[in-house]
Amino acid sequence: MTTTLTPAKVRIEFNDAVVRAFMLAAIAWGAVGMLAGVLIASQLAFHAMNFDTSWFTFGRLRPLHTNAAIFAFVGNMMFAGIYHSSQRLLKQRLPSDFLAWVHFWGWQLIIVAAAITLPMGLTRSKEYAELIWPINALVVVIWVIFAVNFFWTIARRNEPTLYVALWFYIATIITVAMLYIVNHLQIPTSWTHSYPLFGGAQDALVQWWYGHNAVAFFLTTPILGIMYYYMPKAAERPVYSYRLSIVHFWSLVFIYIWAGPHHLLNTALPSWLQSLGMVFSLMLWAPSWGGMLNGLLTLRGAWDKLRTDPVLKFFAAGVTFYGMATFEGPLMAIKSVNALSHYTDWTIGHVHAGTLGWNGFMAAGMFYWLAPRLWKTQLYSVRLADIHFWTGMVGILLYIASMWVSGISQGLMLNAVSPDGVLVYPNFVEVVTSAHAMMITRTIGGALYLAGWVLMIYNLTRTIWGTQAVNGVIEVAAPEHETPSLTFAAAFFNAPVLYSAALVVFSCIWMFGGSLGFLIALPGLILTVITALVHFETSGSTWGQWYERLLASWVPFAVLTFIAVALGGAIQIIPTLTLERTTAIDGIHQKLYSPLELYGRDLYIREGCYLCHSQMIRPFVSESMRYGEPSKLGESMYDYPFQWGSKRTGPDLARVGVKYDDLWHYRHMMNPRSTSPGSIMPNYPWLFTQNSDYSVLPNRIHVQQMLGVPFPKQTPEEIVAAARKQAEEISTSLHGKGVQAVPDREIIALIAYLKQLGQFEKIPAKK
Amino acid sequence: MQKSKAEPIDPLREHVYDGIQEYDNRLPNWWLWTFYGAIIFAVAYWFYYHQAGMDLPNEVILAKAKAEVTARAASLSKGPLTDDQLWSLSLDPATVAAGRLTFVSTCASCHGDNLEGKIGPNLTDQRWIHGGNPVQIVQTVTTGVAAKGMPAWGPLLGAKRVNEVVAFVLSHHKKGEPMVIDPTATASGKP
């Protein structure tokens, strides 16, 4: 929709309709996601809130909450912010309205599909990657459509160079695509079920490379870009420092990727990966704070506006929470701190400092700023927005504080060993019940935050009610002087890039080269740093000129970004893929699942057991007393997907199979409180009425064989018969203990799986 | 490196993006040194653990930690108790009360609140599956009977609490009462 005014000037009307749509969707899905959060928080406070209903149970609703908050709420918010600001920063309308609307409706379709399938128990059980494969495929298609429309706008821009917000958008689009595709490689066994391409430790590594960087590149970089646009707009002040933007952008995107293994500290993961996860998390502290500084210091000279402008209030608080969470994160990534914090509520509190504080408040600030402009009107009530701010703030603080208290208590209690050499709290349930008050406080905090959100919905509804939507318009003159763009050669063969490349190469030589590598790498590293410093002192200004020309060359810029984000993952993941399975697995390998056990395992996944139970015993005295010997890599080598878990609301289950008998599990799944008084685990009555469908097994086993699991060759009939036979045996055993259990019921398969946990074979040492 | 004085006028960059201007301030020194410090730490950490050989296998670290705990515990313990000592503990109200607490939180879910048996066997009758002498009961509680679903409570509870809980069980029995060893007794308690 461009009309020529004069030969030199064109009038451009932005596509703000799609921005409005994304914004309204974000507001609505935000409410849904938060409501789901309050609900599952209440389930942890009062187990009766599970209502003995399969689709309403914590294990199925928790993924719904996380997916809604991340992809539905922040996703839609991000698209609104990116489309709105990019069109203005590039002085160009989105090239295709059609693609924009396909993006919008496609994304809403994905969300609705997720909201239907997750409560049904259709899940891949990888955190924030739970959706089943047909939805995964749709996500990829829609993301590519988004990317096409975005980069197409860049290609047709009327602004010679790229503003910092756009750097972050580019990094977001490229990296999310890379992470999402690799972590969703899988082989379907049916329309609703699949097994991932990676298993065991490899799956764990890939999953947390993805999981950590979903936080980085879905919840952080796009919001930083949004901060760089809306913060200076709202404050009407220049951004604090361009060169800080450069340094913190490149260090952030390069370093973030490496930090994934900090989710697997003190596990069986090879220790070099754990070390990388820890030290890169520490190195991430300063780059993260660079973003916070550039945000907060942009407010210099505008601090007084915080008193009157709710937009700036939300932004300033949001950026402060970002700073807090990005300090807490590296702290928790220190191995010894992690020994206390991991598997506890502390992590949950940390995540919510980021999502409620940073994402939620930045979103609210952006919506309050956008609504009056997109509908050309005034905000209905500044006072209501203030009340929203303070309600939300109290909500966040209650949430975080209660999770600190419960998380640190859990860590201390579970690790406590008395002087006479025994666990001080041998009974896990003691730890669970001690956190009850904090579970209630957290629910109240979440509810307050939601209440603030509802106030915003009311406020914005009154703001835009009865007004006319207005699209932004600019008049663009043809750029007077073209900034010459760089060729690929000039973009890559340049001092800063070459020095960075040298540092990475020498670091790799050190990491993988043993003693000889060290002897080569150390002088190499020192020499590179010194040369680079001297070079920068003498001709740093030419580096600056090079970078400004790079900003006029979006393709080389995007390629450099891709290389920066791809390196960390490649260097960590590729060596682990080539590990020889039988030798790398420290003398132990997992017993193969029987068909019935595999079926039970898929039920374990369906019910989301991994959300509260880990299967990874860490090498601590307390854990070896409580759960048994530390887990080894070989014990989960045939696990597709891995089930190490990330949270212990209940105890670890890696060796539970040798602890209790079938009758105990039978009663426990029927009513956990009958065997563990005080437990907050839901009842699973439907497992006692629903029948197993063994006919899916031959195909599932076939796919696992394709993945390299050495299942014996069996005909489909043999597989089903083997499952039947084992079910009969368990049923008979239960019968002998006075319980009538029909062999075909799901509970029997689940018991078969649980009884098998902790079974492994020792591999005779090869000489 | 020269020290920059507080500059009265920040350098503004020429270009304006949709009305947004950018300063080009120096990076704060404390920020730079935080970053450098973290990088130096990373290099040193890697050197210490992965070059200087301080990266011990999990088993070694755990064995060391366990040895410390056991050594400390050994200095406090008085060795295993005899049948007679356990019988006399069963007459000590304080020990029995402590044993009751452990029993209720740990054992009652399977053996019943009144030791009448539920998933695990009745503990008040005179039929014993794995032996009814106090020392044998301590043994059963400590190492468990994996095949029958009795967990090994020794590592979880420790010797002191195991003794207490056995004293509590014994308080439902009399020294010298007749005893039947019946390995076939089923788990479910019979009245």
Q: Say which of A229, A242, A664 has its CB closest to residue B24.
A: A242
Locate all alpha helices (DSSP H) within A465-577, ordered by sequence: 488-492, 495-512, 514-550, 554-577
Query: Looking at the predicted structure, is the pLDDT value of residue A582 above 70?
Result: no
**Mean pLDDT of the region A631-652:** 94
Q: How far apart are CA A382 and CA A309, in angstroms?
A: 8
Query: Looking at the predicted structure, is the pLDDT value of residue A583 above 80?
Result: no
Is the CB of residue B28 less than 8 Å away from at least one CB of chain A?
Answer: yes
Give the pLDDT of residue B8. Answer: 46
Where does the pLDDT of residue A579 fall: very low under 50, low under 70, confident under 90, or very high at 90 and above?
A: low
To the nearest 10°, the Cα dihedral for A215, A216, A218, A220? 100
The neighbouring-strand residues paired with A241 are B24
| pLDDT 10s digits, B13-45 | 988 999 999 999 999 999 999 999 999 999 999
Q: How near does any CA of chain B get to the CA of A749, in Å?
A: 18
Q: Which of A618, A272, A279 is nearest to B49 (CA)?
A: A272
| pLDDT 10s digits, A166-217 | 999 999 999 999 999 999 999 999 999 999 999 999 999 999 999 999 889 9
Greater pLDDT, B155 or A626: A626
Domain borders along chain A are 15-471, 488-578, 589-762
Report the DSSP pairing between strands B127-128 and A186-188: unpaired
**Mean pLDDT of the region B83-99:** 88
Where does the pLDDT of residue B94 fall: very low under 50, low under 70, confident under 90, or very high at 90 and above?
A: confident
Tokens of A715: 């005909």
**Mean pLDDT of the region A560-566:** 96
Q: Which residues of A673-684 are buried (b: 16+ CB within 10 A; e: fewer)?
A: bbbbeebbbbbb
Q: What are phi and psi of A626, to 5 degrees?
A: -80, -40
Q: What are phi and psi of A587, to 5 degrees?
A: 75, 10
Contact state of A241 with B24 under an 8 Å Cβ cutoff: yes
Q: How near does any CA of chain B get to the CA of A389, in Å?
A: 26
| Residue A670 and residue A741 in contact, taking contact as beta carbons nearer than 8 Å | no
Q: What are phi and psi of A94, to 5 degrees?
A: -55, 130
Query: Looking at the predicted structure, is the pLDDT value of residue A411 above 60?
Result: yes
Contact state of A239 with B21 under an 8 Å Cβ cutoff: yes
Tokens 């004293």 locate to B167
Please tell me which residue of chain B has the smallest CA distance to A422: B158
Please tell me which residue of chain A has the smallest CA distance to B64: A621
Is the CB of residue B48 less than 8 Å away from at least one CB of chain A?
Answer: no
Query: Looking at the predicted structure, is the pLDDT value of residue B190 above 80?
Result: no
User: Which 3 state secondary structure label does DSSP give B92?
Assistant: coil
Residues of A in contact with B161 (CB under 8 A): 422, 426
Query: Looking at the predicted structure, is the pLDDT value of residue A580 above 80?
Result: no
**Mean pLDDT of the region A103-120:** 98
Is the CB of residue B40 less than 8 Å away from at least one CB of chain A?
Answer: no
- Measured in residues, chain A has a length of 767
Where does the pLDDT of residue B6 fall: very low under 50, low under 70, confident under 90, or very high at 90 and above?
A: very low
Q: Say which of B17, B19, B151 has its CB closest to residue A659.
A: B151
Is the CB of residue B145 less than 8 Å away from at least one CB of chain A?
Answer: no
| Residue B50 and residue A120 in contact, taking contact as beta carbons nearer than 8 Å | no
Q: Under CATH, domain A589-762 is a member of which superfamily? A: Cytochrome c-like domain (1.10.760.10)
Q: How near does any CA of chain B get to the CA of A135, in Å?
A: 38
Q: Say which of B70, B72, B188 has its CB closest to residue A737.
A: B188
How many CA within 13 A on the CB side of residue A39? 19
Give the pLDDT of residue A488. Answer: 84
- Other C-beta atoms closer than 10 Å to the C-beta of A186 total 22
Percent of chain A with pLDDT over 90: 90
Contact state of A245 with B22 under an 8 Å Cβ cutoff: yes
| pLDDT 10s digits, B107-125 | 888 898 889 888 888 998 8
Give the pLDDT of residue A584. Answer: 56
Q: Say which of B153, B158, B187 has its CB closest to residue A737.
A: B187
The neighbouring-strand residues paired with A298 are none
Contact state of B25 with A244 under an 8 Å Cβ cutoff: yes
Residues of A in contact with B190 (CB under 8 A): none
Give the pLDDT of residue A581. Answer: 60
Give the pLDDT of residue A132. Answer: 98
Q: What is the 3-state secondary structure (H, E, C) of A421-483?
A: CCECCCCHHHHHHHCHHHHHHHHHHHHHHHHHHHHHHHHHHHHHCCCCCCCCEEEEECCCCCC
Angle A412-A415-A419 from CA coordinates, rounded to 5°: 100
Where does the pLDDT of residue A648 fall: very low under 50, low under 70, confident under 90, or very high at 90 and above?
A: very high
Give the pLDDT of residue B26. Answer: 92
Is the CB of residue B25 less than 8 Å away from at least one CB of chain A?
Answer: yes
Query: Looking at the predicted structure, is the pLDDT value of residue A47 above 90?
Result: yes
**Mean pLDDT of the region A727-734:** 97
Give the pLDDT of residue A460. Answer: 98
Give the pLDDT of residue B189. Answer: 41
User: Which 3 state secondary structure label does DSSP give A9?
Assistant: strand
Q: How far apart are CA A181 and CA A174, in angstroms?
A: 11
Residues of A in contact with B23 (CB under 8 A): 238-242
Write the class of the CATH domain A15-471. mainly alpha
Give the pLDDT of residue B34. Answer: 97
Greater pLDDT, B70 or A687: A687
Is the CB of residue B21 less than 8 Å away from at least one CB of chain A?
Answer: yes
User: Which 3 state secondary structure label does DSSP give B24?
Assistant: strand
Q: How far apart are CA B174 and CA A717, in angstroms?
A: 58
Q: How far apart are CA B140 and CA A248, in angstroms?
A: 61
Q: Number of CB pairs < 8 Å for A and B? A: 184
Question: Amino acid identity of A408?
Answer: I
Please tell me which residue of chain A has the smallest CA distance to B67: A621
**Mean pLDDT of the region A365-372:** 98
Contact state of A427 with B188 under an 8 Å Cβ cutoff: no
Give the pLDDT of residue A480. Answer: 57
Give the pLDDT of residue A477. Answer: 81
Tokens of A644: 């190490």
Where does the pLDDT of residue B7 fall: very low under 50, low under 70, confident under 90, or very high at 90 and above?
A: very low
| pLDDT 10s digits, A680-716 | 999 999 999 999 999 999 999 999 999 999 999 999 9
Q: Which residues of B57-66 are buried (b: 16+ CB within 10 A; e: fewer)?
A: ebeebbeebb
C-alpha distance from residue A495 to each of A65, A378, A502, B93 (Å): 46, 50, 10, 81
Q: How far apart are CA A583 and CA A766, in angstroms?
A: 9
Query: Looking at the predicted structure, is the pLDDT value of residue A58 above 90?
Result: yes
DSSP A309-365: -HHHHHHHHHHHHHHHHHHHHHHHTSHHHHHHHTBSHHHHHHHHIIIIIIIIHHHHH
Q: Say which of B10, B158, B188 has its CB closest to residue A420.
A: B158
Write the class of the CATH domain B83-181. mainly alpha
**Mean pLDDT of the region A271-295:** 96
Q: How near does any CA of chain B get to the CA of A249, in Å?
A: 13
| pLDDT 10s digits, B145-182 | 887 888 888 888 888 889 899 999 999 998 888 888 88
Where does the pLDDT of residue B10 fall: very low under 50, low under 70, confident under 90, or very high at 90 and above?
A: confident
Q: Which residues of A404-431 are buried (b: 16+ CB within 10 A; e: fewer)?
A: bbbbbbbbebbbebbebbbbebbbbbeb
Most A CBs within 10 Å: which of B12, B25, B76, B111, as the mutation test of the A interface? B25
Give the pLDDT of residue A585. Answer: 63
Query: Looking at the predicted structure, is the pLDDT value of residue A611 above 80?
Result: yes
